[in-house]
Amino acid sequence: MRLNLEELYTRFRRHAVRLTRQRAAIYTALAETTSHPTADDLYQAVKRQHPMISRNTVYYTLGVLRHAGLVQEVNVGHEVARYDGNVMEHHHLICLGCRQIVDIMDEALNELAVSDRQTKGFHILGHRVEFHGYCAGCQ
């Protein structure tokens, strides 16, 4: 979905994150896609408008945004980190062929819990579910 400057300004302000051209470009690129890009994908995309941007700025910014709760990291095994501008609670489908990651918005999955007998004394704060398989194109 399209993101205007005013909305961007509001979101950053709300989380006390300084707004710079680089941050605006990185966050916008991420918020406007559902593809869960890597840091380098974002670097390549943002570089078109900001040829001097450094990879470090991308990593640093993603760290700041993640800390502020504006962005999520999605890790699939030990592959390179993927980022997600969708911070609503949701889970993922992962294609073993093309490595694409697709959102699953499913209330039942969000409400998943472990039976008390299995909790082993843990105080549970959250959970993550990923389904693995082959997408339509890779089957």
Partner DNA sequence: TGGCTACATAGGAATGATTCCTACATAACA
Partner DNA sequence: TGTTATGTAGGAATCATTCCTATGTAGCCA
Chain residues that interact with DNA, rule: CB under 7 A: 12, 17-23, 38-40, 50, 52-57, 59-61, 63-64, 78, 80-81
Rounded Cα gap, residues 76 and 82, in angstroms:
8
CB of 41 to Mn ion, least distance (A): 14
How many residues belong to the site for Zn ion (CB under 5 A)?
5
CB of 7 to DNA, least distance (A): 14
103 interface partner picked from DNA, Zn ion, Mn ion, none, CB below 5 to 8 A per type: Mn ion
- Does 115 bind a second copy (CB under 8 A)? Our answer is yes
| Contacts of residue 2, Cβ cutoff 8 Å, sequence gap at least 6 | 32
Residue 35 CB-density burial (10 A; 0-12 exposed, 13-18 middle, 19+ buried)? middle
Strand-pairing partners, residue 104, are 91
**Of the residues 97, 128, 131, 132, which one makes contact with Zn ion according to CB under 5 A:** 97
DSSP single-letter state for residue 119: S
Q: Which residues are at the interface with Mn ion (CB under 5 A)?
A: 84, 86, 103
